[in-house]
A and B are shown apart, each in its own frame.
Chain A
Amino acid sequence: MTNNENQTTYVLTEEQALDMLAFLASAAEISLHEPTYYGTFRLIDAASRLMGYLLESNPELAESFMPGWKQDIDTRKVWMMWDRPAYQQFLKEAPAVIAAEIKQRQEAAE
């Protein structure tokens, strides 16, 4: 993590960035033929994977909201396979976690 003026920069290794790109491109391809709700699964899984890489490469994030949110996503994303209503509820709630985080940072910076 480096500080550039007021911005914090998180780092991915080349391997992690390429893996993430490969995942996104492959998810786009298979979304052509998978059931539409799988698209939601790939996106929330992408969020989890990105956090996984960020946590690997930026140890200071261990104290942030990310380990907890990643754990929560990994537990609840698989509900898609056996409990659709609970899965949909989880998706509706998920953005609030990151929204609260962004808002809190903005307020702290003001």
Chain B
Amino acid sequence: MSEFSPEADAFFQTLKTRRVCRSYTDQPVADAQLRRITEAGRWASSGGNRHIHKFLIVRDAETIRRVRSVAPGMLVEPPAMIVILTDKEAAERECIQLDVDQINQGDVGTAAMNMQNMAHALGLGSCPVTSFSHSGVGVMLGLPDHLEAEWIIMIGHPKPTQRGLGTGAPKPLTARDLTWWDRVGHHDPV
């Protein structure tokens, strides 16, 4: 019996059971689902409430294939993807110096995480991709100069796969391993 509310437990389960998905069926992702996922991205916290990002939803298989050719981190071609873009004109309006700003990447991360968790709650699989050629993706997506691709979130209906864990796999990392209480090196006594 948990000491927390059923809603809090259900929310935690959603967070805990999300794993990146790198294998998708051909089934298209419904527009309503993509819309809801971008709404989740919109409600992510944003440093200084600046919101200098745009979300580009891509469903066209040929465009996705072309983007993948310059994105080594896209291990598969998903049925849909959302590209998180920095709008450099918006950054300029907000007097943000992107070359020294450290908040921008945090903002991309918060939006991406909300979107991945929302996708999971909708029964979809997702995977963030940052390993891509920025110049190459800019060309493939026909991005104007003021838009820079930051992260790609692959989205689709998950296809079950064998993870094929090797022998000698490290023991799962726990929150306790990562957390100290009050003092550096002082683990949760429980």
Contacts and interface: CB of A to CB of B under 8 A. Distances in A.
B166 interface: yes
B169 A23 contact: no
Interface residues of B, number: 22
A42 B133 CA distance: 13
Interface in A29-87: 29-30, 34, 38, 42, 45, 75-76, 78-79, 82-83, 85-87
B168 A85 contact: yes
B69 A23 contact: yes
A23 B77 CA distance: 14
Contacts of A1: none
B158 to A, nearest CB: 15
A66 to B, nearest CB: 18
B1 interface: no
Interface string A10-42: 000000001100110111011000100010001
A86 B132 CA distance: 26
Tell me what chain A mostly uses at the interface: helix, strand, loop, or mixed. helix
Interface of A: 18-19, 22-23, 25-27, 29-30, 34, 38, 42, 45, 75-76, 78-79, 82-83, 85-87, 89-90
Contact of B166 (A18, A34, A42, A79): A79
B58 interface: no
B72 A42 contact: yes
A26 B167 contact: no
Contacts of B69: 18-19, 22-23, 26
B131 A82 contact: no
Nearest to B167: A86
Contacts of B120: none
A83 B166 contact: yes
